[in-house]
Amino acid sequence: MTDASAPTPNAERLAEEILTGMRSALEILAVEVGVRRGLYEALAAHGPMAPRELSKTAGIHARYAREWLEQQAVAGILTASGPAASAPDNDGYDRRFSLPAEHRRVLLDRDDPCYMAAGPQFIASIAETLPEVLEAFGTGGGVPYEHYGRGTREGIAGLNRPMFQPETLRSWVAALPDVHRRLTHDSGARALDLGCGLGWSTIALARAFPTARLTGIDLDAASVEQARRNADEAGLGDRIAFVHTDAAGAGLDGAVDLVTVFEALHDMADPVGALASVRRLLAPSGAVLIADEKVSEDFTAPGPDVDRLNYAFSVLHCLPATRAEGAKVEAGTVLRPATVRAYAHEAGYSSAEILPVAHDLWRFYRLSP
């Protein structure tokens, strides 16, 4: 449907929006330069720095240091102090630049709820893969997930990691009170984290429910490798098993009390098959907890910001990656509640209910066998 209240098309408005988007895109890539070259870390460690000081500390050319520092200050990310541009003999190298403490939370603290430095990494990896996406548009093929590379793998994980904290995961599972009780009190309780990526959600579940046994599975070999390293570094390698397979190949001995699928259902080439496979693994009173995009229940144009964001990801990443797997179903990133319910019904579940879990970007579902 089309929103009857939508503004009348206007060339100047669209041109202005594209120009604003260009500025934002360029600034995002400049943030990625700062992240990759360790420039924010240098500023946080050493305090206010002039361009030549940053050049020496971070191992970059002084002229690039000056231009990047000035750009970051003009964008409002850094603060600047020192001689004005009109001062006599000013060459721009005496000005000093600082990274405000609040901005360090966004750019450096990977567990802070405000952390976003992984986002530019993700965007840059999508830009690097654009030629393959263009080719797929012509052939109808896809772009394998692994072709998006480390930037996408770590970018997605880095964006989601701040919310994958034990207390947060515990609150999400609390929306399934019966399952929460078993994971809390039953020493034999088991949970399966489907589409676990780099393992941060699995690790948080293990910390949230110390007596439960966890298995994380993912189709991406590099992700599973890194997940194992992350679990070992967290001291949880003996409680979590990570398996490079799909839902059908989990090979678990015994029933599972909880299956979690965090922002992964829309990426599956055969979501109905995956849900059917994990249903057969569930204990009689087990459940599947799904979190996926909180998009509008119906198509609207123009659409809200969350829909715009997810459609853009879908065009450039999620749909091409899914098509590369010979998809039976091609949901794209915009996964609406009616679609989730249809998948659940076809996979043999008795119910699929939306849970009252507050989240800005995700909608939560319980699937019961």
Looking at the fold, whether 174 and 307 belong to one and the same domain comes out as: yes
CATH of the domain at 217: 3.40.50.150
Looking at the fold, whether 228 and 82 belong to one and the same domain comes out as: no
Question: Does residue 338 sit within a domain?
Answer: yes
Q: Are strands 96-98 and 79-81 parallel, antiparallel or unpaired?
A: antiparallel
Of 126, 250, 273, the closest CA to residue 196 belongs to: 250
Tens of pLDDT, residues 25-68: 999 999 999 999 999 999 999 999 999 999 999 999 999 999 99
For residue 86, what pLDDT is reported? 54
For residue 19, give its domain range: 11-106
Looking at the fold, whether 73 and 167 belong to one and the same domain comes out as: no
Question: Does residue 120 sit within a domain?
Answer: no
Looking at the fold, whether 159 and 236 belong to one and the same domain comes out as: yes
Q: Which residues contact 1 (CB under 8 A, 6 or more apart)?
A: 298, 299, 300, 301
Looking at the fold, whether 59 and 175 belong to one and the same domain comes out as: no
Of 271, 263, 318, the closest CA to residue 293 belongs to: 263
For residue 90, what pLDDT is reported? 64
Looking at the fold, whether 321 and 199 belong to one and the same domain comes out as: yes
CATH of the domain at 68: 1.10.10.10
User: Total structural domains in the chain?
Assistant: 2
Of 286, 280, 279, the closest CA to residue 257 belongs to: 286
The two three-digit tokens of residue 159, written as one number: 């964006």
Identify whether 7 is preceded by a cis peptide bond (ω within 30 of 0): no
For residue 330, what pLDDT is reported? 81
Question: Does residue 118 sit within a domain?
Answer: no
Looking at the fold, whether 48 and 134 belong to one and the same domain comes out as: no
Looking at the fold, whether 213 and 92 belong to one and the same domain comes out as: no
C-beta of residue 51 within 8 angstroms of C-beta of residue 118: no
Looking at the fold, whether 100 and 138 belong to one and the same domain comes out as: no
Q: Residues, the chain, total? A: 369
Looking at the fold, whether 98 and 134 belong to one and the same domain comes out as: no
Tens of pLDDT, residues 85-131: 555 556 789 999 999 999 999 999 999 999 999 999 999 999 999 99
**How far is 242 from 197, CA to CA, in rounded Å?**
10
C-beta of residue 289 within 8 angstroms of C-beta of residue 172: yes
Looking at the fold, whether 38 and 150 belong to one and the same domain comes out as: no
Looking at the fold, whether 29 and 166 belong to one and the same domain comes out as: no
Last residue of a domain, one of 91, 106, 121: 106
pTM for the complete prediction? 0.92
The residue ranges of the chain whose pLDDT is under 70 are 1-7, 84-90
C-beta of residue 255 within 8 angstroms of C-beta of residue 190: yes
Q: In what order do the strands lie in the sheet with 213-218?
A: 240-244, 213-218, 190-194, 256-262, 282-293, 362-368, 351-354
Question: Does residue 115 sit within a domain?
Answer: no
For residue 83, what pLDDT is reported? 75
